[in-house]
Amino acid sequence: MSGWNPRNIRNFSIIAHIDHGKSTLADRFIEHCGALERREMQAQVLDSMDIERERGITIKAQSVALDYRARDSQVYRLNMIDTPGHVDFSYEVSRSLTACEGALLVVDASQGVQAQTVANCYTASELNLEILPVLNKIDLPAADADRVISEIEDIIGIPAHDAVRASAKTGVGIADILESIVQRIPAPKGDTGAPLKALIIDSWFDNYLGTVSLVRVIDGVLRPKEKVRLMATGRDYQVDEIGVFTPKRRPVDELAVGEVGYVIAGIKDVRSARVGDTITHTNRPAEKPLPGFKEIKPRVFAGLYPVDAQDYESFRDALGKLQLNDASLHFEPETSQALGFGFRCGFLGMLHMEIIQERLEREYGLNLITTAPTVIYEVVTTKGEILQIENPAKLPEAAAIEEFREPIIRATILVPQDYVGDVIGLCVEKRGIQRNMIYHGRQAIITYELPLNEVVLDFFDRLKSVSRGYASLDYDFLEFRTTDLVKLDVLINGDKVDALSIIVHRDQAQYRGRELAAKLRELIPRQMYDVAIQAAIGSKVIARETVKALRKNVTAKCYGGDITRKRKLLERQKEGKKRMKQFGSVEIPQEAFLAVLRVDGK
């Protein structure tokens, strides 16, 4: 079944901060429209990946087609397009929003507006989407609708006096939201007779189906068995199946103007069907692709190493499998003197990195050491070459570097005014340059230019702690900028441990070096010999610490009855040491490799 008149289609996204109840709300819509029996409702249908469900965030966009009988007795096709809810995935968000004519701005009535929401709302406004504010969790005792309404009006700048007051938990206001979607969000426009243009909102890999792409038809009509072209790569494919998610997968005969659905076309990997690309017909192609397509580049890099060298092969397989479904994950083999064979992986951001790491450990049972995350640097050598450096170990000698450039982001921080001072202090410590500051009632929006490498270290955690969890952050990449950077090395008993090298600003090198050496002293257990820890820039040692040797390590008593117990105790200790890396005669625990991350500010 198909052939929806565009007048009866409404395409919308939900913009919400993590925990503000987006998924629960989506569940209520599905329930209200009778798409699933109650018994089929798995709490939060939309976030189907385990990690997504646990963290309450959406990583991959998905969509649901709902048939809603409105108060005017007509049936409308509501396409709800889910968007990722985290700063790392801002490009995906913009593509999801492009596919819509409207968006629900869901704000927790007890917590108010957060930076992520603001950034996504701005994107939605720029794309001319109709934004419908919804106050969720209105049933909570701490809900303060009036305050949140004026916050929405002040900060985001849209009228909110008639915002629907709802509770996804109790079901209050659900019908009103659906009705206002029909009333206020414009119907899609497009030319059915024009050459096909379908926007890829998301692609994922399914073991049985191959690559599945979620698309929004802008112009023309798409049918099964047709030959289509992906305009970014110019490659042609035969469409095997098209359909919609209700949320169950249901094939249809056509997807026409304004419709949202999936396309399966024998595409081998998700890289070939990239988010933002345009699908057209091979025999009657569109003149120009849809605007806005970008190649997404990883911005954060880290070395990942199997603790047990024997896991290398299965590690590579696991990365390959994850990549099938995640075009933004990059990896290439890397060798470290300290950690052996592993991979340098590129991620969109810190959350993306954490998610990948967690999936590797949880779904593939791997035990991994992750080096401190780093960003990509540009180095101009004295010979005039421009190098992209994603691993501090690959940095040329200081003498061969003419110019050192680091990536700068523009960060938008939303914070209650009580914490403004602390947030500014943090930004200054992180070498930020203030660009703007606006007060809206109790809230301030602060815009800073910050070096990305400072942000990947511990900025999120610090921001949360200085603002008691109230500050929220959004950022986008600005430019590469020349800075006075140096490589800080760590030497253990005189030998450089490549995996512990970091690139830091010269002004901070001294402090970082001292902190890092002190942190390592705490983390490296006492062993048979003294362990000397040094932090150095080039050949100049700027900090040193010593882990004093154990004076002895022997069990005082061992007789007939305790042998098994004492053996097991030693076996357990040995098992624990397996998680350490032997470096010369020194055993370094995994945590040490993350110590660079946790060098606290004063």
Contact 347, 299 (CB under 8 A): yes
Instruction: Give me the least distance between CB of 549 and other proteins, in Å please.
Output: 9
Which of 566, 579, 590, 598 is the binder for other proteins (CB under 8 A)?
A: 566
**How many C-alpha atoms does 421 have within 13 Å on its Cβ side?**
1
> How far is the C-alpha of 387 from the C-alpha of 404, rounded, in Å?
10
Instruction: Give me the least distance between CB of 562 and other proteins, in Å please.
Output: 8
Residue 137 falls in which region: left (phi positive, over 0), alpha (psi -120 to 50) or beta:
left
Does 493 participate in binding other proteins (rule CB under 8 A)? no
Which of 225, 383, 574, 602 is the binder for other proteins (CB under 8 A)?
A: 574
Contact 322, 329 (CB under 8 A): yes
Residue 423's SS3 state is helix
> How far is the C-alpha of 448 from the C-alpha of 21, rounded, in Å?
29
Tell me which residues in 500-559 interact with other proteins (CB under 8 A).
Answer: 527-528, 550-559
Q: Which residue has the tokens 């959004």?
A: 474
- Looking at beta carbons only, is 73 or 564 nearer to other proteins? 564
Does 128 participate in binding other proteins (rule CB under 8 A)? no
Among candidate residues 133, 16, 24, 152, the one with its CA nearest the CA of residue 84: 16
Size of the site for other proteins (CB under 8 A): 24
Instruction: Give me the least distance between CB of 367 and other proteins, in Å please.
Output: 19
Please say whether the dihedral angle defined by the alpha carbons of residues 326, 329, 332 and 336, taken in this order, is positive or negative: negative
Tell me which residues in 362-391 interact with other proteins (CB under 8 A).
Answer: none
Instruction: Give me the least distance between CB of 546 and other proteins, in Å please.
Output: 14
Instruction: Give me the least distance between CB of 563 and other proteins, in Å please.
Output: 6
Does 570 participate in binding other proteins (rule CB under 8 A)? yes
Instruction: Give me the least distance between CB of 528 and other proteins, in Å please.
Output: 5
- Looking at beta carbons only, is 384 or 561 nearer to other proteins? 561
Tell me which residues in 4-23 interact with other proteins (CB under 8 A).
Answer: none
Cα distances (Å, whole numbers) of residue 49 to 27, 140, 248, 486 = 16, 28, 15, 41
DSSP-assigned beta bridge partners for residue 303:
344
- Looking at beta carbons only, is 250 or 548 nearer to other proteins? 548
Which of 39, 494, 573, 602 is the binder for other proteins (CB under 8 A)?
A: 573
SS (H, E, C) 94-109: HHHHHCCCEEEEEEEC
- Looking at beta carbons only, is 364 or 529 nearer to other proteins? 529
Contact 350, 88 (CB under 8 A): yes
- Looking at beta carbons only, is 125 or 527 nearer to other proteins? 527
Site string for other proteins, 581-600 (x = CB under 8 A): ----x---------------
Instruction: Give me the least distance between CB of 494 and other proteins, in Å please.
Output: 19
CB burial readout 554-573, b (16+ within 10 A) else e: eeeeeeeeeeeeeeeeeeee
Which of 73, 128, 207, 564 is the binder for other proteins (CB under 8 A)?
A: 564
Which of 208, 383, 560, 602 is the binder for other proteins (CB under 8 A)?
A: 560
Among candidate residues 477, 424, 467, the one with its CA nearest the CA of residue 447: 424
Which of 563, 582, 600, 601 is the binder for other proteins (CB under 8 A)?
A: 563
Residue 574 CB contacts under 8 Å (≥ 6 apart), including other chains: none
**How many C-alpha atoms does 94 have within 13 Å on its Cβ side?**
18
Site string for other proteins, 458-487 (x = CB under 8 A): ------------------------------
Residue 543, φ and ψ in degrees, nearest 5: -155, 145
SS (H, E, C) 485-528: EEEEEEEECCEECHHHCEEEEHHHHHHHHHHHHHHHHHHCCCCC
Alpha carbon dihedral 411, 372, 86, 451, in 10-degree steps, equals: 10
Tell me which residues in 158-187 interact with other proteins (CB under 8 A).
Answer: none
Which of 5, 567, 582, 600 is the binder for other proteins (CB under 8 A)?
A: 567
- Looking at beta carbons only, is 75 or 563 nearer to other proteins? 563
Which of 571, 582, 600, 601 is the binder for other proteins (CB under 8 A)?
A: 571
- Looking at beta carbons only, is 151 or 545 nearer to other proteins? 545
* Positions that interact with other proteins (CB under 8 A): 527-528, 550-561, 563-564, 566-567, 570-571, 573-574, 577, 585
